[in-house]
């Protein structure tokens, strides 16, 4: 998809073309990305009990999102989306249903492995969703996530030194396009905390500075301090494979726990460690010192 066409589409749907600036945090000696953020005093959203198991609830969310996107029933897709976002609803384990909604949208689509044709089909469907729901955050965020996935379609999952030289250009082009989709839809889409989580997913792929990530994180948590995806992707940015360190992840887990203590107790610390271990097996070696 030509970038010029995307710009035209965003223009026609009335999206802002402003670059991301974030809440500019004055430079400080302490550049831990979550330092200086006060404990949240926002009301806690209670987790509703359910007779369904955690797994069945997650599978239902995946199925609802996947089937409605696949059939292009965008109105029904938006109904589920608005419920999850506006109610901040959680699964019994406490994870936001919104998180699983985004990961289920493309779950019914044909495999994109080694298939440029299938990537194009899903991309065209995402653009039709934007056209059908131009004032909804969800299609812009999903389209950005789709472009990140497409970038890795070209790059592969190998470590950087094993990536073919010719794969880097389409990888970086798709990552940059994913960022621009978010930036150019910010006025509409940043009302959804997944917008910030997705932008934080882009940060290590473009080697953002700590100050840039810090500014973005402060802005995200000022709007929604309890969205797990924001913390997970910020923690991933701090891992050694992205030129961070385990010490920075530990400090971030401590800061995040202090921010969310009112509603989450000490659980955010455990959740960030779980995410870090899942994202980098080497992190488990650090557990005895945590």
Cα–Cα distance measured from residue 237 to residue 214, given in angstroms and rounded to the nearest whole number: 11
Cα–Cα distance measured from residue 203 to residue 14, given in angstroms and rounded to the nearest whole number: 26
Do residues 284 and 277 lie in contact, with contact meaning Cβ atoms separated by under 8 Å?
yes
Contacts of 30 (CB under 8 A, 6+ apart): 36
What is the count of structural domains for the chain? 1
Length of the chain (residues): 290
Q: Which of 187, 117, 166, 175 is nearest to 146 (CA)?
A: 175
Contacts of 13 (CB under 8 A, 6+ apart): 130, 131, 134, 135
Each residue's pLDDT, cut to its tens digit, for the chain (290 residues) gives 444 434 434 433 444 333 444 444 444 435 689 988 999 999 998 888 888 999 999 999 999 999 999 999 999 999 999 999 999 999 999 999 999 999 999 988 877 777 788 889 999 999 999 999 999 999 999 999 999 999 988 888 777 888 888 888 999 999 999 999 999 999 999 999 999 999 999 999 999 999 999 999 999 999 999 999 999 999 999 998 887 898 999 999 999 999 999 999 999 999 999 888 877 765 555 554 54
Structural domain of residue 288, as residue ranges?
196-290
* Centroid of chain to Cα 184: 16
Q: pTM of the predicted model, to two decimals?
A: 0.85
Task: Say which DSSP state 113 is in.
Answer: T
- The CA-based diameter of the chain, rounded to the nearest angstrom, is 55
Domain contains 281:
yes
Domain contains 120:
no
Domain contains 154:
no
Domain contains 70:
no
Domain contains 75:
no
Cα–Cα distance measured from residue 96 to residue 80, given in angstroms and rounded to the nearest whole number: 13
Domain contains 126:
no
SS3 for 232? helix
């Amino acid at each position: 998809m030509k970038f010029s066409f995307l710009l035209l589409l965003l223009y026609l749907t009335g999206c802002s073309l402003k670059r991301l600036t974030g809440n500019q945090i004055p430079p400080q000696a302490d550049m831990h990305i979550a330092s200086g953020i006060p404990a949240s005093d926002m009301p806690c959203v209670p987790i509703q009990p359910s007779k369904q198991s955690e797994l069945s609830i997650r599978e239902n969310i995946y199925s609802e999102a996947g089937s409605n996107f696949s059939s292009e029933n965008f109105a029904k897709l938006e109904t589920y989306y608005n419920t999850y976002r506006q109610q901040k609803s959680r699964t019994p384990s406490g994870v936001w249903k919104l998180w699983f909604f985004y990961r289920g949208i493309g779950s019914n689509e044909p495999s994109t492995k080694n298939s440029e044709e299938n990537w194009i089909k899903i991309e065209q469907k995402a653009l039709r969703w934007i056209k059908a729901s131009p004032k909804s955050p969800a299609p812009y965020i999903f389209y950005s996530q789709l472009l990140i996935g497409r970038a890795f379609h070209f790059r592969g999952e190998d470590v950087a030194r094993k990536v073919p030289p010719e794969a880097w250009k389409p990888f970086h082009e798709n990552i940059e396009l994913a960022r621009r989709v978010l930036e150019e839809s910010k006025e509409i889409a940043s009302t959804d905390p997944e917008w910030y989580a997705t932008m934080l997913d882009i940060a290590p792929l473009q080697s953002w500075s700590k100050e840039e990530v810090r500014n973005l994180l402060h802005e995200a948590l000022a709007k929604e301090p309890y969205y797990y995806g924001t913390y997970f992707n910020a923690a991933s940015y701090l891992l050694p494979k992205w030129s961070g360190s385990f010490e920075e992840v530990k400090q971030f887990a401590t800061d995040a726990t202090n921010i969310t203590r009112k509603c989450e107790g000490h659980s955010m610390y455990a959740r960030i460690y779980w995410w870090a271990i899942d994202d980098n097996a080497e992190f488990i070696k650090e557990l005895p010192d945590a």
